[in-house]
């Protein structure tokens, strides 16, 4: 939910005190290249079939093996949170994968915090945003609202989680480059998980391009050894 609570801009994710990054930033490319890539991704997303959420009877009892070991660390919690929120655990795992790779202390440059990168103003006074239970409660409440607003369309609900629920009602060509990238990775990763695959080329692409540093930080934080 990191971008869902701020303006539509690229946010560089960090996990203090380490310096890795899990952001989907294109700042390193010339402006024209960024523009062209954004247009291409938008065109592809417009032509892609909608991904809808699983019906209650289709919701899995656990998370797919495609997710990284850092997210697998939270598998039992994700299943429990999913049951409480009436969400597919694979959708929750997808959001956690992209947002924090399972690092409960992840922090973005915009101030989003924790496993689901929740902005401070979503917490009640006195709540600890880094507490996994609290972070999941606030983050998944926003995800659930986004999914409801999107009438079960996962692509739109992911866009709402990243760019703010208001983007759901707008044409995809108006979405920020960051939100387009978020959906570009999130929707097919979720679809691969829901389909019962044992690997995901889109998750591998995300990891190689953007997630390796973020996941290294998460592994260190969780005490996961190579």
What pLDDT is attached to residue 110?
85
What pLDDT is attached to residue 226?
76
What pLDDT is attached to residue 18?
37
70 catalytic residue (yes or no): no
Mapping DSSP to helix (H, G, I), strand (E, B) and coil, where does residue 225 land? coil
What pLDDT is attached to residue 61?
65
The rounded distance, in Å, linking the Cα atoms of 87 and 82 is 5
The rounded distance, in Å, linking the Cα atoms of 123 and 58 is 31
Residues of the chain with pLDDT under 70: 1-61
What pLDDT is attached to residue 156?
98
Q: Give the gyration radius of the chain's Cα atoms.
A: 16
Looking at residue 63, what DSSP letter applies? Answer: -
The rounded distance, in Å, linking the Cα atoms of 209 and 213 is 10
- Asked if residues 131 and 33 have their Cβ atoms less than 8 Å apart, the reply is no
Name the phi and psi angles at 108, rounded to 5: -95, 165
18, 70, 99, 172: which is the annotated catalytic residue?
99
What pLDDT is attached to residue 219?
98
The rounded distance, in Å, linking the Cα atoms of 194 and 122 is 29
The rounded distance, in Å, linking the Cα atoms of 117 and 120 is 9
What pLDDT is attached to residue 50?
59
Q: Which fold has domain 3-222?
A: Lysozyme (1.10.530)
Question: Structural domain boundaries of the chain?
Answer: 3-222
- The pTM for the full model equals 0.78
């Amino acid at each position: 939910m990191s971008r869902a609570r701020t303006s539509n801009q690229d946010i560089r994710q960090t996990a203090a005190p380490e310096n890795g990054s899990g952001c989907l930033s294109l700042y390193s490319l010339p402006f024209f290249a960024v523009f062209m890539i954004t247009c291409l991704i938008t065109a592809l997303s417009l032509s892609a079939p909608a991904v809808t959420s699983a019906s209650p009877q289709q919701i899995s009892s656990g998370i797919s093996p495609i997710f990284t070991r850092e997210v697998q660390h939270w598998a039992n919690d994700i299943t429990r949170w999913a049951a409480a929120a009436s969400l597919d655990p694979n959708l929750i795992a997808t959001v956690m994968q992209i947002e924090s790779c399972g690092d409960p202390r992840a922090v973005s440059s915009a101030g989003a915090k924790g496993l689901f990168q929740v902005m401070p103003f979503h917490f009640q006074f006195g709540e600890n945003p880094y507490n996994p239970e609290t972070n999941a409660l606030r983050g998944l409440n926003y995800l659930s609202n986004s999914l409801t607003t999107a009438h079960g369309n996962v692509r739109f609900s992911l866009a709402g989680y990243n760019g703010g629920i208001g983007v759901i009602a707008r044409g995809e060509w108006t979405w920020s480059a960051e939100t387009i990238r978020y959906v570009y990775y999130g929707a097919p990763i979720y679809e691969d998980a829901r389909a019962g695959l044992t690997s995901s080329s889109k998750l591998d692409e995300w990891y190689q391009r953007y997630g390796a540093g973020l996941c290294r930080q998460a592994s260190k934080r969780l005490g996961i050894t190579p």
